[in-house]
Structure 1
Amino acid sequence: MTAPTLWAILATALLSALLFGGGLGLNLVIVAVPAILAAAFAARAADRRIRPWTLVWAVGGLALLAVPALRDAGWPTFLAIVSALVLTALALHGGRGWPSVLFAPVGLIDSVGSGTTWAWRGLRERADGSRGRWGPVVRTVGVAVALLVVFGALFAGADAAFADLLGSLMPDVSLEQAPWRLSLFLLGLFGAISVARTAAAPLRWDRMVIRPGRARARLEWALPLIVLNLLFAAFNAVQLAVLFGGYDKVLSETGLTYAEYARQGFWQLLMATLLTLAVIGLALRWAPRADARDRTLVRAVLGILCVLTLVVVASALRRMDLYVDAYGLTRLRISVAAMEIWLGLVIVLIMAAGIFGARLLPRALAVSAAASMLAFGLASPDAIVAERNLERFNRLGKIDVPYLAGLSADAVPALDRLPEPQRTCALRDIEARLGDEDDTPWYATSWSQARARALLAERGVDRFSVDCGEPSREEEYDPYAKGAPHSAPHSAPYDAPYDAP
């Protein structure tokens, strides 16, 4: 292990201890920089070259870390961080096949143990070879720190503005936080060691051989899929006739109300899409492949299945759109709709692989997943939920204020446009949460939080004089329930429960 690698690992650990703990924001990017340098130094020492796909994964991982820096909602942040870790594993391991894409994150975990031994051995070797140079380095750093502390304290006592500037720039570290800071230090230390060790000696997942299944006869392979295609075609014909035939068509064909039909079956269609991907994977494993006619048969049967599956995806999204139109948008609904859109993209990529070849399919699916996570986070789902509910309120006069009050600071610009008293009732809890985080340092504050604080400070929120009278969810009335009098869509005085799909 080289000295630059050791110093980069130590810098990652120190920055983790100092910057984490109060929230997530730019601190993720700041900590990621020395970790990336540790990997680069270790890879160069091991004579590993940087390849184009390595840069693709690395840039993608850094881009995903922009989500917590820009958005306040915790769930897109979590998804972005997990996706960034996966892309980091792909950048470190390399490889192009399915084993590398699927098992690369396992390599980071495996490197924690071996990397610790590797780092300790490298540290001892560096110490034995440079005993005479450690003394001057330690003395120089000690003198610099002492001067900064002494003169920084004097200047802070002499000028309150300078003291505030130092307070905002420097992390708040106290003895009470020592155990927590130590845990963060160890997390950064072992994380950086794992990254550097993987860069120096990655696991070669592409050496794992996945043998294709025994090829089946044409009739044995194709007949079940042809029957499945006919079932999909029949279902899609009904969907196209009913879902796009209007409200009267829904009633005449099903006997259900508009909202009942919209709510019915979305999860089943989502599961059907997932199972179709499994069927395609298994069919390819046992597909006949003796000659060109077999390959043509495989492409035709599976291509038709993919096209029909895209219609199922469109049907599921149409149902969700109708249901949102009737009951409003929630976090759960926007999440499952985004997942359905990505599954549709996966189907399109599989179709492209059938035409142009499947060599790039594993990487293309990984890129599509990461890009979808990035787009989902940057689009600010909480803001979209607030915007859609604001539009619905302006159109129908219906809104679930207690639910919207639980959204993050991302939703503040939309909720601020509500009339009173709905505005106050939706914003006062968010303002209280932001007020509790006023002492959060700049590196742990997202852009959405800063924008929301500025907006609320400008217009203010009356926490005391407005009686919001939050209704009990159990007492809500659903006019679309069976046995309720029939009414036209959107005539309900209350919204349906928000934990429904």
Structure 2
Amino acid sequence: MSDTPSRPSKQSAPSTPSNSSTPSAPSAPSTPPEQSDGGNGPGPAPQDTAPQPPATMSYREQHSRATQPQRHHPWPPPPAAPRQPAGPPKWLTDVRPEPPARIRPATFVAALATALLSALLLGDGLGLNLLVVAVPAAVAAYFAAQAAGRRLRPWTLVWAVGGLALLAIPALRDAGWPTFLACISALALGSLALHGNRTWAGVLAGSLGICGSLGSGTAWAWHGLRERAEVSRGRWAPMVRTTLVAVVLLIVFGALFASADAAFADLLGGLSPDVSVADGPWRTFLFAVGLLGALAAARTAAAPMRWDRLEIRPGRARGRAEWALPLVVLNLLFAAFIAVQLAVLFGGYDKVLSETGLSYAEYARQGFWQLLWATLLVLLVIALALRFAPRGGDRDRTLVRSVLGTLCVLTLVVVASALRRMDLYVDAYGLTRLRISVAAVELWLGLVIVLIMAAGVLGSRWLPRAVAASAAAAVLAFGLISPDGLVAQQNVARYGDTGKLDVHYFQDLSADAVPALDTLPEPQRSCALVGIAGRLEDRNEPWYATSLGVARAREILEDRPLKVVESECRKLGTYGDQRGFYDEY
């Protein structure tokens, strides 16, 4: 017996009853042709069964429908993949700092001390108090850097010491503009000390980088304190109780001793700040500013931004002729200008003035500003030239050094010419704040050009930090020389030589000008000092908000009181806002 089922043969197929008049026919399949299984089984091929138009349509409608393209409806597309959120740009990822270490109790205590001193001392003005507030903030940053394992490097020490030295300017000088420059420069140096950058991008961005830690510093301190409070909850309560007891004892016994002795009361009143309830909002704001600033400095010291990782790609190197030809033409122009200046120097100014039709002072004033802008543009030209300089080999380096070195030397001569013109202008019209400021800027630009020349010989790795240090040193020197005092001293000396004196201009100077103006004869002395004396009487700062210049000015005015005669002062041009002082003096 076979396991395969037998297939019926034709002979065994059933047949229909026979009929003599009807032939026999094969049996039809049970499945209709149109219901095939799609080609997987037996059956005829599927036919194209396009829908036929109904018979009730007109011929025009049938023709229009037949000529229209058949619309195929594909399967719906798969759902789109969810769009991934765009990540931060590459440069931000490169400069992102490492996670900071937890805040130490010493760091938080130093930041809290900074906030308290800010609220108590900074509300009465700027002086020695600014330096006093900066010291605990620097201590907080030091503790945070120590906890992060950072080491003290030489340039970090230079930036830190330079910033503290700049904060001594408000304690020495009364003039507001040197104080403002010193405070801004001290903030920039402090930020550089916390970041420790050395490239151009690092120095420029790092000088302002501390501002980016104002928000993250607060969050960092909050998370760190919360973690430490959970671990050592029992240690905080005794510390808080001890502090409260000490404060209560100081207040109670200090009030008793002050009421018992008038001398001790005066001493205590001079040392302690005058705080009233009306100053509450202002003191609270200063407290918040001090706390945020100290925490931002500590957070930056714990994990600084890596601005040195910013990649500044050099420009496409140019050919030698394409790069050098414009610079050679510029050098020839500078040389021609310097040759004219030497001819004027040896031939005298009288011939030049007669040919140009300008006066002595107009010739000096007109040239100074143009030469100042020329010096600034030379620095821009040098930066662009170095970006697109040829970099093929030793010959290219020699070409770059020769062309740019010549340009720097010629620019130094232009700087000297500009300063000489300013000197001539000051001799004709006297020294003012604006003139001494732009002359100081021109001197610093000359120093920067010298540094660029040195970098071309010794290498440029140190150049960004050297330029930043020179700017800070220039601001420090500008504040130490007392610009208002120098302005007054030069004008007093000019009065002795020419008899010309602009007494009205002295009314806007600060107390730093009093020692020089005190040497004038009467009535010029009293008329020149009347405006400064009036402002000093309106001010009543405590010792920590009084500068050395103010203290010296008050001492001079007390030893030699003013003798103001209104008619004489009006002849000298001193009047207007100082009318109220004439009656008093």
Aligned to 1:457: 558
Residue 168 of structure 2 corresponds to: 66
1:297 alignment partner in structure 2: 399
User: Which residue is equivalent to 2:519?
Assistant: 417
Match of 2:134, SS state, is helix
Match of 1:446 in 2: 547
Distance 1:239 1:91 in 2: 44
* TM-aligned CA distance change 1:465 to 1:154, over 3 Å: farther
2:307 to 205, 223, 242: 205
Check whether the contact 1:65–1:81 (CA below 8 A) recurs between aligned residues: yes
Report the TM-score, using the length of structure 1 for normalisation. 0.92
CA distance in 2, matches of 1:382, 1:128: 57
Query: In the alignment, which of 99, 119, 130 is matched to residue 201 of structure 2?
Result: 99
Of the two, which has the highest radius of gyration?
Answer: 2
Could you say which residue in structure 1 is the equivalent of 2:457? 355
| Mapping 1:177-326, distance limit 5 Å | 177-243=279-345, 245-326=347-428
Partner of residue 48, structure 1: 150
1:18 aligned onto 2:82? no
Cα distance in 2 for partners of 1:373, 1:6 equals 32
C-alpha distance in structure 2 between counterparts of 1:125 and 1:463, whole Å: 68
Distance 1:22 1:394, change over 3 A: same
Aligned partner letter, 1:161: A
1:319-358 deviations in Å (ceiling 9; x for gaps)? 1111110001000000000000000000000000011111
How many angstroms apart in 1 are the aligned matches of 2:552 and 2:354?
A: 50
SS in 2 for 1:230: helix
**Which is worse superposed, 322-331 or 97-106?**
97-106
Higher RCO (C-alpha under 8 Å, 6+ residues apart): 1
Offset, 1:170 = 0.3
Deviation at residue 113 of structure 1 after TM alignment? 1.6
| Worse-matched range after superposition: 153-162 or 449-458 | 153-162
Cα distance in 2 between the residues matched to 1:244 and 1:117: 68
Structure 1 residues 110-162: Cα deviation after superposition (integer angstroms, max 9, x where no partner)? 11121111111112122222321222222222221112112211221222221
- Is the CA contact (8 Å cut-off) linking 2:217 and 2:296 kept in structure 1? yes
Distance 1:250 1:156 in 2: 75
Looking at structure 2, the residues matched to 182 and 279 of structure 1 have their Cα atoms a distance apart, in angstroms, of 49
User: Runs in 1 of length 4+ with deviation above 3 angstroms?
Assistant: 243-247, 463-467, 470-473
2:470 to 340, 357, 368: 368
Deviation at 1:210, TM superposition (A): 1.1
The corresponding residue for 1:391 is: 493
Gaps spanning 5+ residues in structure 2: where? 1-102, 575-585
Task: Give % identity.
Answer: 72
Residue among 247, 261, 270 paired with 1:168: 270
Higher alpha-carbon deviation: 404-413 or 456-465: 456-465
The verdict on how the C-alpha distance between 1:244 and 1:31 changes in structure 2, with shifts beyond 3 A counting, is farther
Deviations 1:411-452 (A, max 9, x none): 100000011111111112111211222x31111111111111
Cα offset for 1:467? 4.0
Which residue of 507, 526, 529 maps to 1:427?
529
Letter of the 1:139 partner, please give it.
Answer: R
* SS in structure 2 at match of 1:460: coil
Q: What is the rounded CA distance, in whole Å, between the counterparts of 1:351 and 1:11 in structure 2? A: 46
2:375–2:445 Cα contact (<8 Å) kept: yes
For 2:538 and 2:394, locate their aligned partners in 1 and report how far apart those are by CA, in whole Å: 68
Match of 1:492?
Answer: none
Query: How far apart, in 2, do the equivalents of 1:155 and 1:429 lie?
Result: 41
Equivalent residue in structure 1 for 2:183, among 57, 75, 81: 81
Asked whether 1:159 is paired with 2:242, we answer no
CA distance in 2, matches of 1:153, 1:436: 30
Q: Counterpart in 2 of 1:330?
A: 432
Distance 1:143 1:68 in 2: 36
Q: Take 1:287 and 1:153, find their aligned partners in 2: how far apart are those partners?
A: 74
Per the alignment, do residues 182 and 244 of structure 1 end up closer, same or farther by CA in structure 2, a change over 3 Å counting? farther
Per the TM alignment, residue 164 of structure 1 is displaced from its structure 2 partner at its CA by 1.1
- Give the structure-2-normalised TM-score: 0.79
The change in CA–CA distance for 1:227 and 1:160 in structure 2 (over 3 A counts) is: same
1:111 to 209, 213, 229: 213
Q: Alignment partner for residue 468 of structure 1, among 569, 573, 585?
A: 569
**Any gaps of 5 or more consecutive residues in structure 1?**
474-501
Aligned partners of 1:237 and 1:218: how far apart in 2? Answer: 28
How many residues were matched structurally?
A: 472
Classify the secondary structure of the residue corresponding to 1:289. Answer: coil
Offset of residue 461 of structure 1: 1.4
The Cα of 1:253 is off from its aligned counterpart by 4.2
Deviations 1:436-484 (A, max 9, x none): 22x31111111111111111111111356664116779xxxxxxxxxxx
2:474 maps to 1:378: no
* Distance in structure 2 (CA, Å) of the matches to 1:386 and 1:68: 19
